[in-house]
């Protein structure tokens, strides 16, 4: 027996979400073509500013109690790409959890500035602290074996021959159609994202193995290592982050007998100072990105603070080779 749809049923039909997350307009369905939001778009380009125009980061104000196993007291953490953006906020999370930190960045001046800001923030928010963390700044090109080796020796010399945690946040992305990607740019992208992760991990592993000490490594991948971002074309970056994710799994197995855990964090779209600057000039791109995220918003850098502390600390002693996706549900839709 046929029943006339109720008003609420009709409303649900009209607002049935497309696969992309956008809603089909009631008045003019022809304006949205099938699959139009599930393709890369060569007209989408993201222009990254020059180094001198890159925005700096500022500390996030948050102090809460937590489980003792999350404490990083007595540990030294090295964070590559820690002078800005996600690396900066994750360095702050490690410091607030008790660790000393070594910020490694291509821009040495920005690394010095970041270390000073984080130290000041700690003192301002913990005026009665018994101990003030040691935060050092270092400059290195993570794509260069010689530079990585030298900077790790420098870090060890300034932190009592001590490294317990490595976070590899150095990386960048670009948008080119695959057939137009300049080969030298692709080599640079792979050099920083993949070679940089590998080289830093190997140097820290050599130290830990020689010292017969356990350690934790957290590689910063991306949801791009599991899915294809749209609408911007970025095939080499996606492949590079897939390599980082699998490198974490492979090294986790290889170094497990030495007590070295290796995990990966794969962030989704994050509103860093740089991303905000880009999206202010591309509001339509932001709308497309957020339309594909089940939580309906882009992530904030501080959304990674708990994740990195968890994987760096003893709270995750039985976790290795894992990929923790922090993406608002993007990759499960």
Which residues does the annotation mark as catalytic?
A: 222, 237, 241
Sheet holding 165-168, edge to edge: 135-139, 100-105, 76-80, 165-168, 215-220, 260-267, 323-326
Q: Are 179 and 90 in contact (CB under 8 A)?
A: no
Whether the Cβ atoms of residue 312 and residue 169 lie closer than 8 Å to each other: no
The residue to which tokens 């000073």 are assigned:
116
Question: How does strand 165-168 pair with strand 100-105?
Answer: unpaired
């Amino acid at each position: 027996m046929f029943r006339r749809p109720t008003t609420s049923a009709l409303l649900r039909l009209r607002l049935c979400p497309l696969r992309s997350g956008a809603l089909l307009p009631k008045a003019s369905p022809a304006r949205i073509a099938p699959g139009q939001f599930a393709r890369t778009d060569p007209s989408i380009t993201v222009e990254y500013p020059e180094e001198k125009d890159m925005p700096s980061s500022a500390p996030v104000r948050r102090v809460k109690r937590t489980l003792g196993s999350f404490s990083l007291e007595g540990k030294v953490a090295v964070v590559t790409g820690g002078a800005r953006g996600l690396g900066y906020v994750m360095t702050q999370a490690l410091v607030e959890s008790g660790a000393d930190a070594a910020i490694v960045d291509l821009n040495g001046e920005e690394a010095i500035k970041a270390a000073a800001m984080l130290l000041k923030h700690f003192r301002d928010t913990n005026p009665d602290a018994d101990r003030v963390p040691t935060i050092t700044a270092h400059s290195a090109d993570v794509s260069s074996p010689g530079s990585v080796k030298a900077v790790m020796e420098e870090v060890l010399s300034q932190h009592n021959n001590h490294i317990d945690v490595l976070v590899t946040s150095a990386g960048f992305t670009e948008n080119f159609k695959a057939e137009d990607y300049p080969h030298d740019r692709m080599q640079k992208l792979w050099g920083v994202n993949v070679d940089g992760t590998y080289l830093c991990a190997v140097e820290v592993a050599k130290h830990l193995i020689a010292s017969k000490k356990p350690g934790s490594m957290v590689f910063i991948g991306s949801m791009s290592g599991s899915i294809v971002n749209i609408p911007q074309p970025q095939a080499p970056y996606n492949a590079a982050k897939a390599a980082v994710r699998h490198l974490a799994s492979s090294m986790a197995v290889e170094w497990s007998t030495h007590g070295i855990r290796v995990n990966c964090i794969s962030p989704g779209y994050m509103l860093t100072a740089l991303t905000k600057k880009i999206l202010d000039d591309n509001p339509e791109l932001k709308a497309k990105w957020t339309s594909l995220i089940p939580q309906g918003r882009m992530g904030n850098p501080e959304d990674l603070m708990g994740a990195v502390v968890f994987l760096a600390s003893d709270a995750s002693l039985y976790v290795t080779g894992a990929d923790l996706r922090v993406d608002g549900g993007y990759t499960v839709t």
